[in-house]
Chain A
Amino acid sequence: MMLRVRFHGRGGQGAKTASRILGDAAFNDGFNDQDFPIYGAERRGAPVAAFTRFSDGDITERGFIFSPDIVGVMDDSLIEDPLANPFAGLRKGGCAVVNTTKPSGTLLPDRKDAKIITIDLTGMALKMLGKPILSSGIAAAVARVAGVSEGSFLKAVADELREVGLSEEMVKKNVEFAMAVYGELAPLTLRTEELPSKLELVPLAVVVSGEGMEDVTQTGNSAVRHTGNWRTYRPVIDYRRCTDCMICYAYCPESAMSVGEDGRVRIDYENCKGCMICLTECPLKAISQSGERGLQ
């Protein structure tokens, strides 16, 4: 019997480490395992994915997991992101573990056959680790649902995090965080089957070079990427205190600030990644931060 898990996160949240922790934990329980990320041009904040397979027999499959039994979604903004598409190929009867504060019924309304488990990992991580890093949390949630034993799992958390160079203090905090998540959930019995594959033909339009596909041949078209969903916090300008000194505007690495006709700075929330340089540099402290997606 083999279980296939796919993690979806944003660069820096710990999807790759989560896949390693889960693989290591299953190995400690006596399973064979494989774990690996998609290697490529990941950036902090950009959608990333990582995979874990474990089995009581030999694992002869290789490559990406297109039809997972479980998906771990570390950021609910990925659900809307066509580049991530985290529920793609999720098997009938499979399970999605989603880090969110939204009610589970709203996340995947057209998949009655799949079990959706929601948990506010970001909130817990901020409280227990002081930062929104979710590797041990999402690994704990998936390991619990998959029925990995607690001892094997906690050993894997400590081993893997030491290996990536975390301090003993952070390892300890992560183990506590992982235990808390593990304790919140219960194991599931999953009977999964592959989705019937439908071969969809995508008709390609004939495009005359230089005429069609304006949005692709245009320069400066990156705003359609909407990097605003990379954000954990958003900067908010208090216009009563702002004196239009333009320091925030000058130092915005995203060009996500612009100056309106009234001479005031505007923030493009569709694309601001929430680096918060503007908040640090504002000499009048006229910029504050506000949590996204229900965060305080």
Chain B
Amino acid sequence: MATATRFRTLKDMPSDEYLTPGNTMCAGCGGILAVRIFHKVLGPNVTWVNAAGCMTIAVSYPLSPLKSNWIYTAFASAPAGAQGVRDALDVLMAKGKLPASEDMKVVVVTGDGAAYDIGFQSAAGAIDRRLDFYYLCYDNEAYGNTGFQMSSSTPFGSASKTTPPTAANPIGNTHRKMDLFEVWRAQNAPYVATLSNSHGVDFLKKVEKGGTIRGPKMYIDFAACPTGWGFDPKDSIELEKLAVQTGIWPLKESVDGVVRHTVVPRSLLPVKEYLTKQERFAHLFEPTERTEAIRTIQESVNSYWAVAGAKEGFAVKAAEVT
């Protein structure tokens, strides 16, 4: 499975910058950082296709932080927009009107709202048509742009504008986070990967690998959101790191349906260490600790890694369930 990579350490991150300073995202935004790193691997010839979300505000006339192209589509339609751009490029090249050197990589970039919910049918269609494109979802686990309402990516136990902890329902969101990775894999997308900005080399390698694969490529980036999650922007990377170390955010990839975990924590940190650092989970600890909800989260993480380890032949020491 080993393929040659130009990325061994963070120092190998390309120094070419395609995102210019002065964007309008919140300080410490994980989503814009993902766009920046992703772009560095893809190089200059990129057309981004966006649907409504935080990133829409990053590129609004007359100022753009991108040195590349940007198309904005309706909320539900970014992968359909990508189909149009891809087809246009292919037709122009076939007619000899566009030299192959000016071909572009077509990248859909949306938040979890479009990727998991509103734009999902359009993505399903693009996978079905084997459209050659990248999909970068910066997953901040809610509709962050409009005030942090729940999406189907919102994790169990998280507060959001639409799932506030109440007397009748003290734990906030009672749904489990939808498994978008498995949904794309089940549709035979040739490449599906999860990313975390905190694991930069893993991130770079996965984008690089996608470049060798034709067809729909999905990247789900765990994008820390200081504003929505309620933590100091300086800890963005630390929280993403903790999500990986607690096992809450598994780093993995699927090539033609075969899953491989690319970062395997030897022993899981307790999920509490991740949960207690964010206001969206504060109600699980104050005024009384919601032991059962925390146990549910810990058990689901432990069992995830037990199943994954049994399949792939690695052992992960589970964290204690209290």
Interface SS, A side = loop
- Give the complex CA separation of A272 and B21 in angstroms: 8
A279: contacting residue among B17, B26, B234, CB under 8 A: B234
**B36 CB contacts on chain A under 8 angstroms:** 253, 255
- Shortest Cβ distance from B34 into A: residue: A253
Question: Do A246 and B13 touch (CB < 8 A)?
Answer: yes
Give A96 to B263 CA distance when docked, in angstroms: 55
User: Judging by beta carbons under 8 Å apart, are B233 and A254 in contact?
Assistant: no
State how many angstroms separate the Cβ of A68 from the closest Cβ of chain B: 26
Q: With the chains together, A274 CA to B234 CA distance in Å?
A: 9
Q: Is the CB of B234 within 8 A of A220?
A: no
Verify A223–B10 contact, CB threshold 8 A.
no
- Complex CA gap A6/B276 in Å reads 37
Does chain A have a CB within 8 A of B33?
yes
For this complex, into which size category does the number of interface residues on chain B fall? Answer: 35 or more
A276 an interface residue at 8 Å Cβ cutoff? yes
**B235:A280 contact, CB within 8 angstroms:** yes
Whether A222 and B64, one on each chain, are in contact in the complex, defined by CB atoms closer than 8 angstroms, is yes
Whether B236 contacts A12 by the Cβ 8 Å rule is no
B233 to chain A, nearest CB (A): 4
Q: Which residues of A contact B226 (CB under 8 A)?
A: 44, 275
B234, A255: Cβ atoms closer than 8 Å: no
* Contact between chains at B227 and A280 (CB < 8 Å): no
Residues A276 and B13 in contact, CB atoms below 8 Å apart: no
Cβ–Cβ contact B18 & A253, under 8 A: no
Evaluate contact between B20 and A255: CB separation under 8 angstroms.
yes
Contact B200 A250 (CB under 8 A): yes
B192 within 8 A of A: no
B187-236 with Cβ < 8 A to chain A: 197, 200, 226-227, 232-236
Within 8 A of B (CB), among A198-255: 215-216, 219-227, 230-231, 245-247, 249-255
In Å, the complex CA distance between A246 and B60 comes to 30
B307 located at the interface, meaning its Cβ lies under 8 Å from any Cβ of chain A in the complex: no
Name the B residues within 8 Å of A277 (CB-CB).
Answer: 28, 233-234, 236-237
Interface assignment of A281: CB less than 8 Å from any CB of chain B: yes
Name the contact of A273 in the complex, choosing from B17, B27, B200, B235 (C-beta under 8 A): B27
Cβ-defined partner of B10 (8 Å) among A12, A250, A253: A250
Q: Does A62 contact B (CB under 8 A)?
A: no
Size category, A interface: 35 or more
Q: Which of A74-115 contact B (CB under 8 A)?
A: none
The answer to whether A41 and B227 touch across the interface, beta carbons within 8 angstroms, is: no
A216-B62, A251-B33 as given contacts; A223 in contact with B200, CB under 8 Å = no
How far, in angstroms, from A268 to B64 measured CA to CA in the complex? Answer: 18
Residues 1-34 of chain B: 1 if any A CB is under 8 Å from the residue's CB, otherwise 0?
A: 0000000001101010111111111111110110
- Min Cβ gap B301→A in Å is 25
Q: Does A158 contact B (CB under 8 A)?
A: no
Q: Chain A: residues with CB nearer than 8 A to chain B? A: 11-12, 41, 43-46, 165, 167, 215-216, 219-227, 230-231, 245-247, 249-256, 258-259, 268, 270-277, 279-281
Given contacts A220-B66, A246-B11, A271-B21, 15 further A-B pairs with CB under 8 A are A45-B26, A167-B286, A220-B65, A225-B22, A227-B22, A227-B23, A227-B24, A245-B10, A251-B33, A251-B200, A253-B29, A254-B23, A270-B22, A271-B22, A277-B28
Q: B residues touching A (Cβ–Cβ < 8 Å)?
A: 10-11, 13, 15, 17-30, 32-33, 36-37, 57, 60-69, 145, 164, 197, 200, 226-227, 232-238, 286
A-B pairs, 3 with minimum CB distance: A271-B21, A276-B234, A222-B22
